[in-house]
Amino acid sequence: MAEGAAEAPAESGGGGDSGASAPERGVAPIKPQYLTTKEQFHEFLEARGEEKPSQETEAGDPGGNDLVEPEAKRIRLEDGQTGEAAEPGEQPQVQKRARGQNKGRPHMKPTHYDNNRLCPSLVQESAAKCFFGDRCRFLHDVGRYLETKPSDLGPRCVLFETFGRCPYGVTCRFAGAHLGPDGQNLVREEWVQAPPVRNGLDKALQQLLRKRKVRFERAEQALRRLSRDRVPGPSPAAAVPKVTGAESAPGQDSGDTQQALPGPDAGALPSGSVWTRGPLTDEDVVRLRPCEKRKLDIHGKLYLAPLTTCGNLPFRRICKRFGADVTCGEMAVCTNLLQGQTSEWALLRRHQCEDVFGVQLEGAFPDTMTKCAELLNRTIEVDFVDINVGCPIDLVYKKGGGCALMNRSAKFQQIVRGMNQVLDVPLTVKIRTGVQERVNLAHRLLPELRDWGAALVTLHGRSREQRYTKLADWQYIEQCVTAASPMPLFGNGDILSYEDANRAMQTGVAGIMIARGALLKPWLFTEIKEQRHWDISSSERLAILQDFTRYGLEHWGSDTQGVEKTRRFLLEWLSFLCRYVPVGLLERLPQRINERPPYYLGRNYLETLMASQKAADWIRISEMLLGPVPPNFVFLPKHKANAYK
C-alpha cells in the first residue's frame, strides 16, 4: 500500500509564535522574513497578490491557539474536554474541525456524467446502428447533445496532437481542434499511432472471467503440491480455502466448460473448450527451475513505490522523467482482477517509458493469489510481480491481507510458494517491520522469504500500529540486511533529500524505495542522482502540473468525465505538494519529511498559492490548467480537513 496515499501522516511538533527565533520541533525552519500569520496568508491569496501585506508577524494569541499552526493540524482535544472552563450561561464551544481519514465519503462513481450523454455508437462514428436500439439510455440526437454540452476548455486537443485522432469526437472538451465544418471528426493519417500503453484487458478474456470459465491449470497443480507438502497443522482443507463472496476465486466451475489461459503471444482466447493448436514446447511440459527464471537486477536503482490513488500512470511518467529507475503499478486486489473488473485492470497499465515495471497484488488466500499470478503471467508484460504485505488500512487488514499476512505465516508461505511456481518473472514482497509497534517480525520472516523463493524484499521501517507517528527505523533495516543476505533488501521510509538517500544506502541496502518523498517533490530523483538541492521555481512546478494534466487527458480521456477524473487526481496530488517548502526559503537544509510548513509568503504569488493547505486554493490551481470546475463540484479527498463543497 502506498505510504501517504492512504492516510495523512501524523506530523510531530506543536504550535508556536511565527516570529520566534528558535526553531520549533516538527516545524520547517523558514527564514523569518517569509513567515506570516494565517490571516495575512489568506488575505494575500484573496487579494490575488495585488498588494503584499507587511512581513512582520504577530505573536501567538493570548488564548493559546497558535496562529502559525495550520487549522487542519491543531491539536485535537479529547472528547468532552475544552480549552478553558466554561462559565455558566456561556454558549457551547463551536464544533471542532474534522480531522483524520475521510472514511464516510461515498465509494460510488458519480452518475451525473450519464445525464445527456451521447451514445457511444455515435461518438465512435460506427457504421452499425446502436445495439440496444430503442432501449438505449443515451442520446442519439447530436444537435440536442450540443445544446447542453459545456463550452470547450481550450483550442488544442492533446489526443489529436499526440495520436492524430481523438476517439472522443464531438464529446471532447477540446473538440474545436478536430471537428470539421459539418461536425465530422478529423483524422491526420500521417500522425495516427497506437497509444503507447500496454497491459490492457481483452474483452473476450473479460467475458470469460465474468462467467468464471477460465481454467487455471498451473495454479491448481501448484496448490495441490502445496497441499501435499504442507506441514501438518489444522485441517488439510485449510491449504486451499473454499471461500465465498468477494474472496471466492473465479474458475471453480466444472472443468469441462472452462477455457484454458492463452499463451503469452496469443492474440485471443480459444473458441473451443481445450487449447489444442500450436506446437508443443518445453514450457508446456517442463517447469522452470528458480535458476532459469528471469533475473531482476535493480541494485542501486531508485524505486518509485506503488502509491494508491496518487501513483497513477500520469504521475509515474512524471517521476520517470525526473530519473526514477523502477516503477510499480498501484495496489490491485487479486479477487477484483479475477472477476474482470475494468477499473482494477486499469491499475496494471504500463507506459512505454517504464522500462523496469512491476505490478503489486493484494490478497489473503493462496488460491486467489496463485490463480491471479498465473492470469497475469499469461496476459500482461511485467518485469516482476510484488506481493503487498505492508498495507495497514483496516479494510485490507481485517480480511487477512496486507500486514495481517505477517502474523499468518502458513498462509503467507503458501502464497509466496504458489505464486513463485506459476510466475516466469521474479516475485518480490513488500513488508513492514511488524504489526505491533514494539514487536518486530521482519528479521524472522526475511530468511523464510528467501527460502520460499522471493527474489527481492522491500522493508518499510515502520509497523502497522505506528503508521506515521514516528520516523522510520533505519537501524532496524540495517540489521535486517544481514538477516536477508544474500537476497537483496530495499529500504523505504522518510527519504526527502539526497542526504537522506545517502544515509539510507550506508545501511547496506541494495537500493531505496521512495514514496511520500516523490509525492512532495517528484524531482527528488534528480536531486539524488545529481547530489544537489534544487531550488525549483514556482513556474517550473506549474509546468510539471501542466505535464501531469496532459498525461492525464491522454490516459483518462478528454471528454467531460476524463477531464474531471484528471482534475480529481490532480487535487489529490496537490494535497501532498502543498507541504513542500522551496529551498530558497529554508534557514536550514534539507527539509525533513516530518516537518510541517508554517504559514509563509513565497517569493511570488504562485509560490504562495502552492503552499496553501485549503482545498479551495487547490481548486484554483486546477482551474489554471483545466478550466473552471463544473457547477455543484464536490471534492471529497481522503482527509476530512480538506473537503471542498
Task: Report DSSP letters for 169-189, one per residue.
Answer: GGG-TTGGGTB-TTSPBP--T
**Position with higher pLDDT, 125 vs 593:** 593
391 labelled catalytic? yes
In one letter, which amino acid is 310? C
Decide if pLDDT at 109 tops 90.
no
- Over its C-alpha atoms, the chain yields an Rg (Å, rounded) of 27
Could you tell me if 348 and 199 are in contact, meaning their C-beta atoms sit under 8 angstroms apart? yes
Separation of alpha carbons 233 and 222, rounded Å: 19
What is the mean pLDDT of the segment spanning 333-349? 95
Separation of alpha carbons 280 and 568, rounded Å: 49
Distances (CA, A) of 540 to 154, 579, 590, 592: 22, 17, 20, 22
Specify whether the backbone of 598 is left (phi greater than 0), alpha (psi in -120 to 50) or beta: beta
Using pLDDT thresholds of 50, 70 and 90, give the confidence band for residue 79. Answer: very low
Give the rounded percent of residues in the chain with a pLDDT score beyond 70.
Answer: 74
Whose grid coordinates read 497475469?
376
Strand partners, 429: 387, 457
**Position with higher pLDDT, 96 vs 7:** 96
The grid cell for 435 is: 504489526
Give the rounded percent of residues in the chain with a pLDDT score beyond 90.
Answer: 57
Q: What is the pLDDT of residue 145?
A: 84
Could you tell me if 287 and 421 are in contact, meaning their C-beta atoms sit under 8 angstroms apart? yes
Separation of alpha carbons 630 and 193, rounded Å: 32
Phi, psi of 199 (to 5 degrees): 70, 40
**Closest residue by Cα to residue 283 from 215, 367, 217:** 217
Query: What DSSP state is assigned to residue 28?
Result: -
**Closest residue by Cα to residue 330 from 313, 352, 354, 351:** 313
Q: What is the pLDDT of residue 251?
A: 39
What is the mean pLDDT of the segment spanning 4-31? 55
**116-150 confidence digits (pLDDT tens):** 788 887 787 666 678 788 888 888 888 888 888 88
Separation of alpha carbons 234 and 310, rounded Å: 41
Could you tell me if 522 and 322 are in contact, meaning their C-beta atoms sit under 8 angstroms apart? yes
Q: How many CB atoms lie within 10 A of CB 318?
A: 19
Using pLDDT thresholds of 50, 70 and 90, give the confidence band for residue 102. Answer: low
* Residue 594: Cβ-neighbour burial (10 angstroms; 0-12, 13-18, 19+): buried
**Closest residue by Cα to residue 478 from 517, 445, 437, 433:** 433
3-state secondary structure 102-142: CCCCCCCCCCHHHCCCECHHHHCCCCCCCCCHHHCCCECCH
What is the largest distance, in Å, between two alpha-carbon atoms of the chain? 90
Q: Which of 196-210, 221-235, 276-290, 595-609 comes out lowest in average pLDDT?
A: 276-290
Using pLDDT thresholds of 50, 70 and 90, give the confidence band for residue 250. Answer: very low
Separation of alpha carbons 558 and 556, rounded Å: 7
Q: Whole-model pTM?
A: 0.81
Query: What DSSP state is assigned to residue 350?
Result: E
Residues 6+ apart with CB under 8 A from 424: 288, 293, 294, 377
Q: How many CB atoms lie within 10 A of CB 193?
A: 10
Q: What is the pLDDT of residue 82?
A: 39
Alpha helices per DSSP H over 557-588: 560-577
Decide if pLDDT at 168 tops 60.
yes
Give the three-class secondary structure for 227: helix
Using pLDDT thresholds of 50, 70 and 90, give the confidence band for residue 195. Answer: confident
Separation of alpha carbons 285 and 486, rounded Å: 31
Distances (CA, A) of 561 to 89, 232, 558: 52, 54, 8
Query: What DSSP state is assigned to residue 600?
Result: B
Using pLDDT thresholds of 50, 70 and 90, give the confidence band for residue 469. Answer: confident
Q: What is the mean pLDDT of the chain?
A: 80
* Residue 89: Cβ-neighbour burial (10 angstroms; 0-12, 13-18, 19+): exposed
Q: What is the pLDDT of residue 74?
A: 35
Q: What is the pLDDT of residue 111?
A: 53
Give the CA dihedral 438, 442, 447, 451, nearest 10 degrees. Answer: 140
**Closest residue by Cα to residue 577 from 621, 547, 527:** 621
Please say whether the dihedral angle defined by the alpha carbons of residues 22, 26, 31 and 33, taken in this order, is positive or negative. Answer: negative
What is the mean pLDDT of the segment spanning 218-225? 93
Whose grid coordinates read 491543531?
74
Catalytic residue among 391, 403, 480, 578: 391
Give the three-class secondary structure for 586: strand
**Closest residue by Cα to residue 561 from 207, 171, 83:** 171
Q: How many CB atoms lie within 10 A of CB 424?
A: 12
Angle of CA points 136, 140, 146, to nearest 5°: 135
One-character DSSP codes across 373-411: HHHHHHHS--SEEEEEE----HHHHTTT-GGGGGG-HHH
Q: What is the pLDDT of residue 132?
A: 81
Give the three-class secondary structure for 547: helix
The grid cell for 48 is: 490575488
Separation of alpha carbons 617 and 612, rounded Å: 6
Q: What is the pLDDT of residue 25?
A: 79
Separation of alpha carbons 614 and 597, rounded Å: 14
Strand partners, 303: 326, 513
Using pLDDT thresholds of 50, 70 and 90, give the confidence band for residue 378. Answer: very high
The grid cell for 25 is: 520541533
